Amino acid sequence: MRVLYLYQYFSTPEMAGGTRSYEIARHLVSRGHEVHMVTSDLRGGSTTWRETDEAGIRVHWYPVANQQHDNYPKRLRAFVRFAWAAARRAASLPADVVFATSTPLTIALPAVWAARRKKVPMVFEVRDLWPEMPIAVGALRSRVSIAAARQLERFAYRNAEHIIALAPGMKEGIAATGYPSDRITVIPNMCDLHRFQVEEQQGFAFRRARPWLLDRPLVVFAGSLGFANGVDYLARLAAATRTRDPEIRFLVIGLHRGGDKIRRVARELGVLEQNFFVEPTIPKSEMPSLLSAADISTCLLLNIRELWTNSPNKVFDALAAGRPVAINHQHGWLADLIRETGCGLVLDPEDVNSAAEMLISSIRDNAWQANARIAASRLARERFNRDTLVAQWEAAVLGAVENGRTQQQPTTITVSHREAA
């Protein structure tokens, strides 16, 4: 099978960012499939396409300025620029199926174009419910932009032979648009046991390199510091914890325009460089050492309903490393999972004093730590094992190739009341 894979933010383990697409594509190559990855090149210094071979994946990189520090209108222009270039590139590459993964939702434009030109099915992967998420956080505000985003959402779904959703709530949101639920497969983010189960010495080395840490308890956040993550919550949690247990350390790793705000909040609270530390982002290949050193890994979000359906990489990396996970949204499938299995903590998103008490009692409880680590490892091995989930992904895409219609015969979808509004 020749897979034309479109993802604007493709990363290898030597880069910062999630590697879901890398792992899926690498698996496909190992199974004898041909994979062309069309993605953006954020390094700068180039003006045209370049090609590399990444573990057998043929990667086509198009130069796009890094948009992390841009406002949403500028980012949208970059999305459209990449979509235009990717459409022309994708149309020139061999394919039996076109697979596109969002975000951004504009990735559907080159995917549909290429699929129609080649008369092959398009499979669409939904990593976040767009446009619900940007609407909820205020990135999309005008009636025109919201209407355009909903039109693009319907366009993507209508032209997809099959859809892969990363969480159960995402499947429900997609089905609410009228897309047939029996053609939606839920495949969450994955646990890479081979990469994250490392020798304890790696964690010890990480600790020894930081005199402020050494053998103290460590709570980490590693990932995007964007507005939706609300990572300043961790600074407030650190302040509440410091008055009760000043030896517990908090570490944030990541770079974004939100980093200055987090440092400012931490400085105002008197915790910066005391029990709260911020370091630059690291490649995915260094994450196992970080998590080996951690006692608890956190996944933080604003307390907004539309964000509760998420499936963040950082949760599954922590599970793969056998580390408890703490989240600060009390509803949604991840909150249910943590409560059911005991693999971590569900912290109060508003009452940081209550959250601090829960965190301290857990991190200082050796029995809780041991049981949470066992539960995390069991989940990683039995429910979110990368090898099992990648095989399910392959089966879903092969099914679309074998049984689906081409993009010249798009699915007719009934417009729901939500869309009509």
Residue-wise pLDDT for 348-371, tens only, equals 999 999 999 999 999 999 999 999
What percent of the chain has pLDDT above 90? 76
Helix (H) or strand (E) holding 114: helix 108-118
pLDDT level of residue 255 (50, 70, 90 thresholds): low
- Indicate the DSSP class of residue 64: -
Residue 413 has what pLDDT? 44
Q: Which residue has the higher pLDDT, 76 or 67?
A: 76
| Average pLDDT score over residue span 285-291 | 97
Q: Which domain holds residue 106?
A: 2-190+386-420
Grade residue 131 by pLDDT with cuts at 50, 70 and 90.
confident
The verdict on 137 and 240 lying in the same domain is: no
3-state class (DSSP) for residue 110: helix
Angle between helices 366-382 and 352-363 (to 10 degrees): 90
| Ranges 82-91, 163-172, 249-258, 335-344: which has the least confidence | 249-258
Evaluate if residue 407 carries a pLDDT over 50.
Answer: no
CATH number for the domain that contains residue 315: 3.40.50.2000
Residue 254 is encoded by which pair of tokens?
A: 């990541």
pLDDT band at 72, cuts 50/70/90?
A: low
Which of residues 128 and 6 earns the better pLDDT score?
6
Lowest-confidence pick of 54-68, 220-234, 398-412:
398-412
Residue 17 pLDDT: 86
**The sheet that has 344-346: what strands, in order across it?**
276-279, 249-253, 218-222, 296-299, 325-327, 344-346
- Cα-based angle 238, 240, 262 (whole degrees, multiple of 5): 40
Q: Are residues 198 and 243 in the same domain?
A: yes
Whether residues 291 and 410 share a domain: the answer is no
Same structural domain for residues 204 and 333?
yes
User: What pLDDT is attached to residue 412?
Assistant: 47
Is the domain of 147 the same as that of 182? yes
Rounded CA-CA distance 70/256 in Å is 10
Contacts of 316 (CB under 8 A, 6+ apart): 188, 189, 190, 191, 380, 384
State the total domains in the chain. Answer: 2
Q: What is the mean pLDDT of residues 330-337?
A: 95
Length of the chain: 421
Please indicate, yes or no, whether residues 206 and 108 belong to a single structural domain of this protein: no
Q: Classify 207 as helix, strand or coil.
A: helix
Phi, then psi, of 225 in degrees rounded to 5: -105, 30
**Pick from 212, 278, 216: which is nearest to 247 by CA?**
216
**Interstrand relation of 2-6 and 34-41 (parallel, antiparallel or unpaired):** parallel
Output the pLDDT for position 56.
98
pTM score > 0.75 for this model? yes
Q: What do you get for the CA distance between the two ends of the chain, in Å?
A: 41
Spatial separation of the C-alpha atoms in residues 45 and 137, rounded to whole Å:
33
Residue 417 has pLDDT above 70, yes or no: no
Query: Where does the pLDDT of residue 420 fall: very low under 50, low under 70, confident under 90, or very high at 90 and above?
Result: very low
- Do 213 and 315 lie in one domain? The reply is yes
Question: What is the reported pLDDT for 237?
Answer: 98
Most confident of the following: 9-18, 64-73, 336-345: 336-345
Task: Give whichever of 64-78, 143-157, 280-294 has the largest mean pLDDT.
Answer: 280-294
Average pLDDT over residues 241-267: 89
Question: Per DSSP, which regions of 127-272 are E strands?
Answer: 162-165, 184-186, 218-222, 249-253
In the numeric block, which tokens belong to residue 86?
């990717």
Report d(CA 183, CA 122) in Å as an integer: 13
pLDDT band at 186 (very low <50, low <70, confident <90, very high): very high
Q: Taking the alpha carbons of 378, 380, 384, 389 in that order, is the dihedral positive or negative? A: negative
Beta strands in 187-318 (DSSP E): 218-222, 249-253, 276-279, 296-299
pLDDT of residue 139: 77
Region 257-271 average pLDDT: 87
Q: Are residues 331 and 411 in the same domain?
A: no
- What would the mean pLDDT of 367-379 be, rounded to a whole number? 98
| Spacing of C-alpha 135 from chain mean position | 18
Same domain for 129 and 55: yes
Average pLDDT, the chain: 91
Tell whether 197 and 179 lie within a shared domain.
no
According to the model, what pLDDT value does residue 421 have? 40
Cβ atoms within 10 A of the Cβ of 284, count?
21
Whether the Cβ atoms of residue 316 and residue 189 lie closer than 8 Å to each other:
yes
User: Do 50 and 73 reside in the same domain of the chain?
Assistant: yes
Res. 64 pLDDT band, cuts 50 70 90: confident
Query: Is pLDDT of 416 > 80?
Result: no
Give the pLDDT band (50/70/90) at residue 138. Answer: confident
Tokens read off for 371: 């049981």
| CA-CA-CA-CA torsion sign (332, 285, 107, 98) | negative
- 98 and 186 in a common domain: yes
Confidence of residue 256 (pLDDT cuts 50, 70, 90): low
| Choice among 243-247, 293-297, 411-415 with the minimum mean pLDDT | 411-415
**Residue 221: φ, ψ to 5°:** -130, 125
